[in-house]
Amino acid sequence: MRSNVAKKQQESKAASSPTSRPYRIEEQVGYLLRRAHQRASAIFQVSIGDPNITPTQYSSLVKLNEYTELSQNLLGRLVGMDKATMQGVVRRLKERGLVDSRPDPGDARRTLLSLTTDGQRLVNKLLINGPAVSRETLKALNAQEQRQLLDLLSRIA
């Protein structure tokens, strides 16, 4: 069976199909995305300026800062989080007094979320460091490569 795989590779090589390399886990998109995401999260954690704020919490706060008031589900869609995941994120932000909520007067199913004064103050502080986080994460690439990476990522996301 080992030799089976090897043979398959040989065949496609011989047929000069579009460079089908041997299958290496380190060269697969999913694997590379996981590693890159790990490193980006690590950089975020040490550079954003508050060790208790996670990347997902940060994007939620930033979105709430843009929109003033949002339902939990809509916020989840805007930042790309499942509603179950959103639930936990929002609960933690509320526990820390960064986010407030009230029932939507027009739709009893919804909860409207907004930043507290503390939340606003914190976002404004974190937003100062935001660009540095991205810069540090991308520092191995030149300007053109950085733009290209962002473009390619947004196209596969």
Tokens standing for residue 155:
């196209």
Tokens standing for residue 81:
């989080």
Q: Under rule CB under 7 A, which residues in 54-113 are in contact with DNA?
A: 54-57, 71-74, 81-85, 87-90, 92, 104, 107-111
Nearer to DNA, 104 or 145 (CB): 104
> At its nearest, how many Å lie between DNA and the CB of residue 147?
24
| Of positions 10, 28, 52, 73, contacts its own copies by CB under 8 A | 28
Q: Which residues pair with 99 in a beta bridge?
A: 115
Which span sits near DNA by CB under 7 A: 11-19, 21-29, 37-45, 137-145?
37-45
Q: How far apart are alpha carbons 121 and 96 in whole angstroms?
A: 13
**47-86 footprint of its own copies as x/- string (CB under 8 A):** --------xx--x--xx---------------xx------
DSSP state letters, 4-72? HHHHHHHHHHHTT-S------GGGSHHHHHHHHHHHHHHHHHHHSS-TT--HHHHHHHHHHHHHS-EEH
| Of positions 13, 34, 77, 83, contacts its own copies by CB under 8 A | 34
**Contacts for 52 with CB less than 8 Å, ≥ 6 apart:** 96
Tokens standing for residue 111:
């909860």
- In the complex, the residues that contact its own copies under the rule CB under 8 A are 1, 4-5, 18, 20, 23, 25-41, 43-44, 55-56, 59, 62-63, 79-80, 120, 124, 127, 130-131, 133-134, 137-138, 140-141, 143, 145, 148-150, 152-157
